[in-house]
Structure 1
């Protein structure tokens, strides 16, 4: 699959700033794009992009979505359900939901969708820089991200020749940090930019560029693409 034109692309977790950017890029490149989430009414879709209901924590929901959509050429799974906080305060149900989004759900996506994918199909999973740089209060995120990278390798072997690639973003100005407030966000971004080799914060467009590469390069599989400005080394 060297071009997205005429291809059917499913984006799970497409309601995020990064997800919307990927959906727009894929649509602009000629793909027939389906954005999936638990709450269809909350998905911000534009002309040419379709919204469907899919809950990664509910296998029956995944089964219904696969029956509704039929064969797709590509899947991008970037949903997340964070369970951040000190180890002593972690709630088991929140931890399970986090792993449903990052690991168990993607396994079930592959279970139900991969048998209908063409030989040149591709699945893109999402990790994150915490996999390489664990920090206090992010034990669940770090572990889930690292598991997503391992899952990409394992699925690439299991599903070959369907390709599977993980993408690992660093600090991205996707809207996820807006709750910090303008001043605190500016200070945080400034400190992180100064610490990484790229000397900047990433954008959703940066991540979308890498995802499009993963979707269209036919020799890319069983690997993790780091789009973090070198932040994992900082």
Structure 2
């Protein structure tokens, strides 16, 4: 995607991307790097982070982190030092019927979406430069709950309220969330030949009349990061999917 409208806001900045080994996190890191940012690549899989680092145009630091482990988050803070913006795309779904839910899986889901963001705020908020921000990823399930998505809906909903509280608590550091709808990030590749039909159905129902792309999410995250009058906000990047 083009970085032109964000170039001035990102050039020379330090950006922490938690989840940089994933599709969306990787794309965000690539875009920020192309715009002149130094990127700190964080996430649980060092090999995937290294693979992302190889794709970047500019300098990068690889720092593994486990959002379920406070010592690991504290170590991330020590390694990062001062920075301008942090974005976390972390997610760990725990889908299935309520009667079959595994507590450990539920705890991992909340570690990614709720406990992890809290720990990131606890250990890194004091290191954010003037005008800086946190951006976390929620999701449409909070507004459009579905069977076997109880944990996903609840964790994403909790995060949406968390960013409002953190925006007040951490001010003037800004805190926002991006809430994706159905986006072709690779998450639906398991549908095989049925993926195209599924995404076509999503496009037919959405007011925007299309499914989302990773670049849609990157644009939303960059807007949240670089807009100095936006905080405590959820940017619904779902093509209007939550409305229908």
Normalising by structure 1, we get a TM-score of 0.96
Q: 1:93 aligns with which of 80, 83, 104?
A: 104
Give, in angstroms, the shift of residue 4 of structure 1.
1.2
Shift of 1:38: 1.1
> How many angstroms apart in 2 are the aligned matches of 1:200 and 1:65?
38
Q: What is the CA–CA distance in structure 2 between the aligned matches of 1:96 and 1:81, rounded to whole Å?
A: 9
For residues 25 and 76 of structure 2, the distance between their equivalents in structure 1, rounded to whole angstroms, comes to 18
> After superposition, what is the alpha-carbon deviation per residue over 1:171-221, rounded to whole angstroms, capped at 9, x for unaligned?
01011110111x211121111111110111100001101111111110000
Alignment partners' CA distance in 2, 1:226 and 1:119: 26
Give the alignment partner of residue 10 of structure 2, picking from 4, 27, 34. 4
**Pick aligned residue for 2:235 from 206, 216, 225:** 225
- Structure 1 CA distance for aligned equivalents of residues 223 and 12 of structure 2: 17
Aligned to 1:69: 80
What stretches of structure 2 of length at least 5 have no aligned partner? 1-5
TM-score, normalised via structure 2 length = 0.93
Confirm or deny that 1:108 pairs with 2:114.
no
Correspondence for 1:191 among 185, 201, 207: 201
Asked whether the equivalents of residues 10 and 33 of structure 1 are also in contact (C-alpha less than 8 Å), the reply is: yes
- Give the whole-Å Cα distance in 1 for the aligned partners of 2:40 and 2:114: 21
Unmatched 5+ residue regions in structure 1?
A: none
Structure 1 residue matching 2:11: 3-state secondary structure: coil
The answer to whether structure 1 residue 203 and structure 2 residue 213 are counterparts is: yes
Q: CA deviation at 1:69?
A: 1.4
Whether the 8 Å CA contact 2:21–2:45 is kept in 1: the answer is no
Distance 2:109 2:120 in 1: 16
2:21 pairs with one of 15, 19, 34: 15
SS in 2 for 1:136: coil
Matches within 5 A, 1:109-128: 109-128=120-139
